[in-house]
Each structure stands twice: as C-alpha cells, then as structure tokens.
Structure 1
Amino acid sequence: MKFRTMKRGMRVLGIAESFTKGSMFSKLAGIVMRRDLIIDGMIFGNVTIEGDDATQSILSMYRSLKRNDINCIMLDGIVISMYNIIDGKELEENTKIPVIVVTFEESEGLEGAIRHHFSNSSEAEMKVELYRKIGQRDKIRLWTGKNLFVRYWGISSEDAYTIINFFTLQGSVPEPIRIAKLAARASIRRQ
C-alpha cells in the first residue's frame, strides 16, 4: 500500500518521555497533531526505568486513543528510560501504521553502554540483542539545514523524510515531538 504523504488530513502521533533521577517510571506523552500543526489529541502513559515495557506501553497508548485517523507514529528515540528499548517493527505490525523514530546526535551505538549499565550479563545480552535488532539509522538533512538520524518501519525513506519536514517548523525537532516533550515534562512536575 502506498503511503499518501500529501494527504491534507494527515495526523501523526508524536511520543516523547520525561523522568526524574531516582524515579522508577518515566512519563510518556503522546500528541496527535494534524498536518496543519493543530493539536488534535493527547494521551499519557508510563514505562519502567531500565525495563522492557516501552513497546507495550506505546501500543497501549495508541489503542487507548481509539482513533482510526492516525497515519503515523513518530517517536523521540528508540532507547528510552535507561535502556528500555522500543521495537519499531512490532509497533508497525501491531498498529498497521508507519513508525518513524528520530534522534538528534551521531553515536557509535549503545552496546558498550548497555553492557556497562547492567550487572547481570544475561539481561545485558538480551538488551544488546534487542538493540541490534532495531537496525541502523539514516542521516537526513531537513529543509532547515539541520541533521536528524531516523529509523522507520512501514514507510519508504522518501516518505519518512517528507513527513518529518512537514512537521518541522524550525531547527531539528518535529512539532509533535517538541510538544510531547513539553507535555511529558509538565506531567512529572505536578507529581
């Protein structure tokens, strides 16, 4: 099926996290944003710091919205909450919509950091295996001149590039991610 990036009513679910030092959980915020940059919905969820529940938490958030008009999920990173790794392919397969993951910095990878962080070698190896499964990132240059690093499932690289540019007003942070970050931070401040 061809993804229609030019669809006027396109909606993206942008998801970002925030947590405080010493917390057991990280707060996820999801923002549904239309292509015209109007916010059209919001949802919150939790993931366990150092856990393995990020993919299921995001699926639960998506399903809780009970919407059939979301065309794409856009995530702020694929390794969140101190090595809670999101399985982008599983998200795409279970939601039947494309998934785009954006990151903002070059990196040699996280395998060494994962092994260093987890004292239990079997847990570390399980996380390293999941990390390897997510694959490499593509570097793209936005219309703003800034670079991003992206992974995507269920969509072509050209369509992922187009969607990210549609939703980026300035700099390098797409608006659904920027607003989701603000919402996640605000939600942990009131706790």
Structure 2
Amino acid sequence: MRHLHLEKKGIRGLAIAESFTQHSKKSILAGVVMRRDLIIDGFVIGKTTLSGDDATDEILRMYEKLNRPDVSYVLISGVIISLYNIIDIQKLYKKLQIPIIAITYNDSLGIEDALKYHFNDAQSKINEYKKLEERTRIKLDTNFDVYIRNEGCTLSDVQKLLNELTTQGSIPEPVRVAQLLARTILLD
C-alpha cells in the first residue's frame, strides 16, 4: 500500500471531474494527472451512465488505462455524480491501494429524499449512500470550506495536500483543470 508522501515535490495525483447535460445519456469524466507543484503530467477520459451504477468501475478503468504506477492518490470531485451514480471510495481504495479523496463544496442535506424522487425502488441507492462515511469539513487556507471523504490517508495529510493544490477559492487546481477538460470534451 502506498501512502501520501507529502515531502516529495513531484508527488502525482489523478484528479477526476465530470460534465453532462440534462439531455445526455452519459457523463464525460476527465482525469488529470498533476504533480503537487501543479505541473500537468497526463490525461485520461471516461464515461458514466446518468442515474446508473457504473461510476466506481469507470474510475478503476480510467486508472488502469493510465498505466501510471507513479500516481500516488486519486482526488474526485464528488461522491455522487452523474445524477445519483454513487462512487464507492472504499472499493476504490481496496482495489488501487492508494489514498482516495472525494471532495465536495456544499453541505448537502436531504439526499435520501432526492433518491426517492428519482428512483422507483430507491432503497438500494439509499443503502449504498448510507455506507459512505460522514463527510469532514475542512477550512482551506483560502478561507473556503470543503467537505471530504477519505480512505487510506489521514485528515491532516488531506488538509495539507488540498491547501497546496488550491491556489484560490475552494476548488483544487487539478480538479479545476479536470472540470474544464470534461466540459470542453462534452461541448466538442
């Protein structure tokens, strides 16, 4: 199992973000490999089904497609993406054996009601959602709050890493670039 080695300037992470429209059947996932010093070092693209259950497996496929043993962690924008496609960060950690960090930007309440509204038989999605650990709020050096779930690394390491990757606002630079790439591909 690899750990976050924050003492290394060139530590690389895979940041994943998505983009879709309400009329899409698939969401575009963009992955950006970026070093801690904010140098971009690779890209990977994937797709997930809106309202599906394939997000976790697609992220695993994207990681494997990169074939980059130097990637030391995965940073994901959200745990519930593509209209309630839930990412299982524990499964990602067990399969990849590197730290997994999921970041969101707002405190979300009422997800169970939203799942009931969108799915006829929502209980399995609700059970899957409940498996997710409670999110932890972190105040960044930029004075913005973010909410994280993490596996395979300490909260203090996550906070240090996010502070180094977030140059302004609340969105870490690798995630911001992944979001831009996903949106560009979607609109192409």
CA distance in 2, matches of 1:46, 1:27: 5
SS at match of 1:71: strand
What are the ranges of 5 or more consecutive residues in structure 2 without an aligned counterpart? Answer: none
Whether the aligned pair in 1 keeps the contact of 2:18 and 2:30 (CA below 8 Å) is yes
2:184 equivalent to 1:183 = no
CA distance in 2, matches of 1:109, 1:148: 18
CA distance in 1, matches of 2:107, 2:79: 14
Q: Letter of the 1:75 partner, please give it.
A: I
Whether the aligned pair in 1 keeps the contact of 2:72 and 2:99 (CA below 8 Å) is yes
Q: What are the residue-to-residue correspondences of 1:21-170 with 2, within 5 Å?
A: 21-119=22-120, 121=121, 124-170=122-168
RMSD of aligned alpha carbons: 1.0
SS at match of 1:180: helix
CA distance in 1, matches of 2:90, 2:137: 19
What are the ranges of 5 or more consecutive residues in structure 1 without an aligned counterpart? Answer: none
Q: Letter of the 1:132 partner, please give it.
A: K
CA distance in 1, matches of 2:5, 2:18: 28
CA distance in 2, matches of 1:151, 1:31: 20
Q: Letter of the 2:55 partner, please give it.
A: A
CA distance in 2, matches of 1:6, 1:149: 24
The alpha-carbon deviation at position 112 of structure 1 amounts to 1.1
Whether the aligned pair in 1 keeps the contact of 2:31 and 2:43 (CA below 8 Å) is yes
Aligned length: 187
CA distance in 2, matches of 1:117, 1:148: 26
Percent identity between the two aligned chains: 44
Check 1:109–1:135 CA distance in 2 against 1; reply closer, same or farther (3 A cut): farther
